[in-house]
Structure 1
Amino acid sequence: MLIDSHCHLDRLKTAPDQASLQEIIAAAKARDIAYFLCVNVRQQGFTDMKQKMAAFDEVFLSAGVHPLDVQDGLNIDEVEQFARDEKVIAIGETGLDYFYANETKALQQQCFEQQIALAVKVEKPLIIHTRDAREDTINFLKQGNADRVGGVLHCFTESWEMAKEALDLGFYISVSGIVTFKNAGDLRNVIRKVPKDRLLVETDSPYLAPVPHRGKENQPAFVRDVAEFVAELRGEKYPDLAQYTTENFFNLFKDAARLTGR
């Protein structure tokens, strides 16, 4: 089986209601995707996300504020309340994005520090978004003792040097459909080097649909395409990659393992 380790099921335009969301999940299960991590990006959106996912035991949740949404505010006490929900297995999506929002750099850093501290406090791993902020991202993780809880650099597009620093902190690297794009040569070289026990696969649905689904709204079912591509890229068999990335998911997100009895 496979796990979509990072998706935004609550943001799918093709699934505006429970019936259509059930169809999306069923389509993924038909391709051997058994579990999903639905990732929170706005504090104000957590309650709605939780309600939409309440009927699906196979969907885990995170709680956090994306660096491109920090301007909407961060009440860390409320995020902590969300984080203590049984289905919440991680803190994030948090991090730094100087590419799209360099003007909020200071606020991003403040919110990132708070969420790292929260992750350590509640003992849940971090989901990290980073763009054009390699040095600061690693430095804040080190300063915040993020190695105590670990986490994942999701939708990874950075250098091997950054990947290595994250791996040294006990973090995982997650690869999305970007790796299938024609201009992803440098990223492919990085993904070839990531140790088997630190690799995850994701869609980041509804964004970044992989080849051969470019132009469509991304769906969790498409994580199978990502996994098959990565297996070939690394010279591995798809069933082996599916098995070890699933094991990696449960090793990182221990509350998910508890919820599934693994």
Structure 2
Amino acid sequence: MYIDTHVHLNADQYDEDIQEVIDRALEAKVSKMVVIGFDRKTIERAMKLAEDYSFIYAVIGWHPVDAIDCTEEDLQWIEELAAHEKVVGIGEMGLDYYWDKSPKDVQQAVFRKQIRLAQKVNLPIIIHNRDATEDVLRILQEEEAYLTGGIMHCFGGSVETARQCIDMNFMISLGGPVTFKNAVKPKEVATEIPLEYLLIETDAPYLAPHPHRGKRNEPALVTLVAEEIARLKGISIEQVARETTNNANNFFRLND
């Protein structure tokens, strides 16, 4: 069995065939999926999916690209929804310096507020980091994010950075890029970081793994991520599936 720990089944790209996508995931032995909501529309959709399917869970938060649109009312709403039994984390939150829709200071302020919110509701945090590693790590340290712990989603940093994150009580999640032929850092991380700290994800509909790169991604393809990690580590895919599933169940407290 596999768990896709980060998927956007609430995206418009699945409007026409969501049930078929879910069915293919189940056929591929993806037993649980964690759907990420990161603004009003996607949070509402994530909550509905979590309520409609026993094996789907929700993570809710505000994406750094859209931080400029985040209001105190939005954060209050997220805090209220966090009490729902199917909400298992807060995010994706963080910093994105690639896109310039939201100024850096606004992103950082909304990031800090969400870390504090997560601490208040006692849920782990899911981190989005693009071109902002130094500031992400600094803010996580300053806000004592180790208290909740979290996941470095679709991790693309170095082995050294991965170890810094693990020291702060964070898991490392690998997605489709680990299968890309030119993806040096994700492959190094998959090789060097012990399996007990790894999770797998698709980030679907984005970042489809090789040989589907450039096409719409879906949770069934998380098996290709596991396959590549197994190849890099020289272990069986069964072991990767078993251990990453155990990691996800324990991290999100899905066995409680």
2:238 aligned residue: 239
Instruction: Give the residue type in structure 2 aligned to 1:257.
Output: N
The aligned counterpart of 2:226 is: 227
Unaligned segments of structure 2, at least 5 residues:
none
Alignment map for 1:102-181 (pairs within 5 Å): 104-181=103-180
Q: 2:51 aligns with which of 45, 49, 54?
A: 54
Question: Does the aligned pair in 1 maintain the 2:25–2:220 contact within 8 Å?
Answer: yes
Contact between 1:12 and 1:205, CA under 8 Å: does it hold in 2?
A: no
| Pairwise CA distance, 1:257 | 2.3
Cα deviation digits, residues 14-49 of structure 1 (max 9, x gap): x315xx322211111111110000011113431233
| Contact 1:43-1:64 within 8 A present in 2 as well | no
Name the structure 1 match of 2:95: 96
**Kept after mapping to 2: 8 A contact 1:158/1:187:** yes
Does the aligned pair in 2 maintain the 1:36–1:60 contact within 8 Å? yes
Letter in 2 for 1:24: V
In structure 1, the gaps of 5 or more residues are none
Q: Aligned partners of 1:155, 1:86: CA distance in 2, in Å?
A: 25
Letter aligned with residue 7 of structure 2: C
Query: Match of 1:9, SS?
Result: coil
Give 2:78's aligned residue: 79
* Letter in structure 1 aligned against 2:124: P
Give the whole-Å Cα distance in 1 for the aligned partners of 2:52 and 2:191: 37
SS of structure 1 residue aligned to 2:188 = helix
- Answer yes or no: is the 8 Å Cα contact 1:95–1:129 preserved in 2: yes
Matching residue of 1:8 = 8
Match of 2:255 in 1: 257
State the match for 2:61 in structure 1.
Answer: 64
* Alignment size in residue pairs: 254
User: Which residue is equivalent to 1:23?
Assistant: 20
Letter of the structure 1 residue corresponding to residue 4 of structure 2: D
TM-score (normalizing by structure 2): 0.95
Do the aligned residues in 2 keep the contact of 1:90 with 1:125 (CA within 8 Å)? Answer: yes
Could you tell me how far apart the structure 1 residues matched to 2:220 and 2:124 are?
25
| TM-score, structure 1 as length reference | 0.93
Conservation of the 8 A alpha-carbon contact between 2:67 and 2:106: yes
TM superposition shift of 1:52: 4.0
After TM superposition, the structure 1 stretch with the greater mean CA deviation from structure 2, 192-201 or 88-97, is 192-201
Large movers: runs of 4+ above 4 Å? none
Taking only aligned residues, the RMSD between alpha carbons, in angstroms, comes to: 1.4
CA contact (8 A) 2:37 2:44 kept: no
Partner of 2:182: 183
